[in-house]
Amino acid sequence: MADFNRIGVVYKPKADTRRLNQSFRAIGTALNKWGLDHALRYQDMPETEMDTELNKMFKRISKEQFRDTVDMVIVLGGDGTLLSLARMMSRREVPIFGVNLGHLGFLTETPVDRIEHALEQLNAGRFTYDNRLMLHGEILDQDDEVVVSETVLNDVVVNKAALARIMDLKLTIDGSFASEYKSDGLIVATPTGSTAYSLAAGGAIIFPNTDVLAVTPICPHSLTNRPIVLDADSVIEISLNRPHENVYATFDGQLGFRFFSNYRLRVKRSERKVRLIKPVGTYYFEVLKEKLKWGER
């Protein structure tokens, strides 16, 4: 652990207190083994019901300091917590170690009851890095001015805020017309995001390290509209063929912005990647089997 001297900790605010404290104690033990006095958390992270001695191990710093100075982050929560952190840290490829305090977790792969063993593996250097592709999404107005710019790990989606009539969407790839869709929306996903909303909409499961992007229609009106897989260097643009009300572009399912009829959504590969720490012995298809009952009858 010589490369990690400023370790940050991020946790889900409403996580189970017992599981959180179990994780905090394991991290405290690991800090002692690593010769560190404390881990770091940023100031607007909510307080938790941890005991006084544990609280001393987690020093508060500003969110900006956290973002700019930590060299490894332990995430305690679910995939949503990790997605938020990935966006916050997108300017720096800081290694992230995810611990799952909930149920379904593809990114936070280590279950809380194995955190001590996993931290021991990290201490012994028995881990690898899993570099995940990210997306950069921009909303542009009629003057080609950027209205919104976000970097995400899972997906960028155009859909409606409420149940209503289907939308008429136009898709271009690398500047050339690709397809029109009459559907409830359209998803552009990374391989990491292929097991999120895209999977629920009928998209394929894509191995995380594959260098591709996926475009998946949401409830298409035509049976000929199918999910497509593109080279990761493709530049994807989505626009509305006619005016629709209450259309939004959402980023990782956590940030939503109004998408007006004169707007275009441009999505492409980000220059940044997310570096996930994987203890030795963690395999993707085992995660699929555990989380999705993959291959079971």
How far does CA 153 lie from the centroid of its chain?
4
CA angle (135 as vertex; 130, 137 as ends), nearest 5:
165
How many residues comprise the chain?
297
Superfamily grouping for domain 134-271? Probable inorganic polyphosphate/atp-NAD kinase; domain 2 (2.60.200.30)
Considering the candidates 79, 130, 184, 252, report the single residue annotated as catalytic. 79
Outline which parts of the chain fall under CATH 2.60.200.30.
134-271
Residue 10 has pLDDT above 60, yes or no: yes
Domain boundaries for CATH 3.40.50.10330 within the chain: 7-126+280-292
What is the pLDDT at residue 172? Answer: 97
Secondary structure element (H or E) that encloses residue 64, with its range: helix 63-69
* Residue 261, helix vs strand vs coil: coil
Q: What percent of the chain has pLDDT over 90?
A: 59
List CB contacts of 81: < 8 A, sequence separation 6 or more: 10, 11, 12, 75, 108
Q: What is the mean pLDDT of residues 61-87?
A: 93
Q: Name the 3-class secondary structure at 125.
A: coil
Q: What amino acid occupies position 70?
A: V
DSSP 8-state assignment for residue 49: -
In single-letter form, the type of residue at position 113 comes to D
pLDDT at 53: 62
Residue 44 phi, psi (nearest 5): -90, 10
Contact between 10 and 76 under an 8 Å Cβ cutoff? The reply is yes
pLDDT band at 195 (very low <50, low <70, confident <90, very high): very high
- Mark whether 79 is an active-site residue: yes
Query: Which candidate, 191, 180, 254, places its Cα nearest to that of 217?
Result: 180
Residue type, 103: H
Q: Which two tokens stand for residue 133?
A: 């592709």
Nearest-angstrom CA–CA distance, 58 and 81: 18
pLDDT tens digits, residue range 80-111? 999 999 999 988 899 999 998 876 677 888 88
**Which residue do the tokens 């998209």 mark?**
203
d(CA 107, CA 104) in angstroms, rounded, equals: 9
Q: Is 211 left (phi over 0), alpha (psi -120 to 50) or beta?
A: beta
pLDDT exceeds cutoff 90 at 259:
yes
At residue 2, does pLDDT exceed 60?
Answer: no
Stretch 234-252: mean pLDDT: 94
Q: Across the strands, what pairs with 215?
A: 188, 228
Beta strands in the chain (DSSP E): 7-11, 39-42, 58-61, 72-77, 96-100, 110-111, 127-140, 146-152, 155-160, 167-173, 176-183, 185-189, 212-218, 228-231, 236-240, 247-251, 255-258, 264-279
Fold held by 7-126+280-292: Rossmann fold (3.40.50)
Give the 3-state secondary structure of residue 39. strand
Tell me: the pLDDT tens digits for 260-281?
999 999 999 999 999 999 888 7
